[in-house]
């Protein structure tokens, strides 16, 4: 059986496509513009994106920055990068598989390093931050965001409870454990200092709205488009539809059966080199 960490970071099979179709518009798009605007305001000429996933921020960066701005978008997971490259961007950028823990770039190669909702997956945060710091030129900036605690993110919190009702003896807790498990801003500041960022970071807590056409879309996004699916199938692969149905019912009971609107909340961190 795979380790918990490997299961939490495995985006394979149909997950990347479902992630891109359902989860990206549900929770990632509201923050993609925010983080891209913060980067664009610094007018970098060389941008590195780490943990780019299926490219939601990459697409916004490509549209929001001048054609002379180079963008290298990386991710550890080939399936996610393949999906990102297939969707494409408004102008050419470089897609490259890379491990944020050991970046294959020289010192000082970029003016900005960007990471949307990826650092929570890094096994050694300070080491990953040190790599981001290493590849930044003097005066460069590292901009990333992380989810706040799961209780501040309504859809995810409801699905968490629904899955606990399906598997009461061993509830799947991926979303609470990993995506929403790195919300302590004091710890983030300490890890940045451990990675060589000597200036205190700027930290902004940003609330937004998560919108979906239906409760089923929300349930599909979380249960089938994230590594929560790995946890569900590890318990009983035949119960994936049951888990999705239970989550959809819980979402509908809380938010209704038509178009839905729920709170999401994240921390945005700006660390200067």
Cα gap 53→103, rounded to integer Å: 16
Assigned fold of 4-272: Rossmann fold (3.40.50)
CB atoms closer than 10 angstroms to residue 209? 10
Question: How does pLDDT run along the chain (273 residues), one tens digit per residue?
Answer: 455 555 556 565 778 889 899 999 999 999 999 999 999 999 999 999 999 999 999 999 999 999 999 999 999 999 999 999 999 999 999 999 999 999 999 999 999 999 999 999 999 999 999 999 999 999 999 999 999 999 999 999 999 999 999 999 999 999 999 999 999 999 999 999 999 999 999 999 999 999 999 999 999 999 999 999 999 999 999 999 999 999 999 999 999 999 999 999 999 999 999
Residue 10, CA atoms < 13 Å, CB-side half-sphere: 15
Cα gap 115→10, rounded to integer Å: 18
Cβ contacts of 239 within 8 Å, gap of 6 or more:
166, 232
Cα gap 70→90, rounded to integer Å: 13
HEC assignment per residue over 189-201? HHHHHHCCCCCCC
Average pLDDT, rounded, for the chain: 95
Asked whether 219 and 160 are in contact (CB, 8 A), the reply is no
pLDDT recorded at residue 231: 95
pLDDT recorded at residue 67: 96
Asked whether 95 and 70 are in contact (CB, 8 A), the reply is no
| DSSP notation for 9-60 | T---TTHHHHIIIIIIIIIIHHHHHHHHHHHHTT--SEEEESS-TTSHHHHH
pLDDT recorded at residue 6: 53
Q: Which two tokens stand for residue 30?
A: 């509201």
As to burial, measured by CB atoms within 10 angstroms (0-12 exposed, 13-18 middle, 19+ buried), residue 1 is exposed
pLDDT recorded at residue 16: 84
């Amino acid at each position: 059986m795979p380790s918990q960490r490997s299961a939490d970071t495995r985006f394979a099979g149909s997950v990347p496509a479902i992630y891109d179709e359902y989860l990206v518009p549900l929770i990632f798009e509201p923050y993609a513009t925010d983080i891209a605007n913060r980067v664009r305001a610094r007018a970098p000429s060389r941008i590195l994106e780490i943990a780019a996933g299926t490219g939601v921020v990459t697409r916004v960066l490509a549209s929001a920055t001048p054609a002379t701005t180079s963008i290298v978008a990386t991710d550890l997971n080939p399936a996610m990068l393949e999906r990102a490259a297939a969707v494409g961007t408004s102008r050419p950028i470089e897609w490259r598989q890379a491990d944020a823990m050991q970046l294959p770039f020289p010192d000082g190669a970029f003016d900005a390093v960007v990471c949307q909702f990826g650092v929570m997956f890094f096994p050694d945060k300070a080491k990953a931050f040190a790599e981001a710091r290493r590849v930044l030129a003097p005066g460069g900036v590292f901009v990333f965001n992380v989810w706040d605690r799961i209780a501040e993110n309504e859809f995810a919190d409801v699905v968490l409870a629904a899955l606990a009702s399906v598997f009461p003896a061993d509830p799947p807790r991926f979303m609470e454990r990993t995506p929403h498990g790195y919300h302590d801003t004091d710890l983030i500041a300490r890890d940045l200092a451990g990675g060589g960022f000597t200036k205190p970071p700027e930290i902004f807590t940003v609330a937004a709205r998560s919108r979906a056409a239906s409760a089923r879309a929300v349930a599909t996004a979380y249960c089938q488009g994230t590594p929560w699916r790995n946890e569900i199938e590890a318990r009983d692969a035949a119960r994936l539809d049951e888990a999705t149905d239970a989550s959809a019912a819980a979402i509908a009971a809380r938010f209704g059966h038509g178009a839905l609107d729920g709170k999401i909340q994240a921390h945005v961190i700006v660390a200067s080199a």
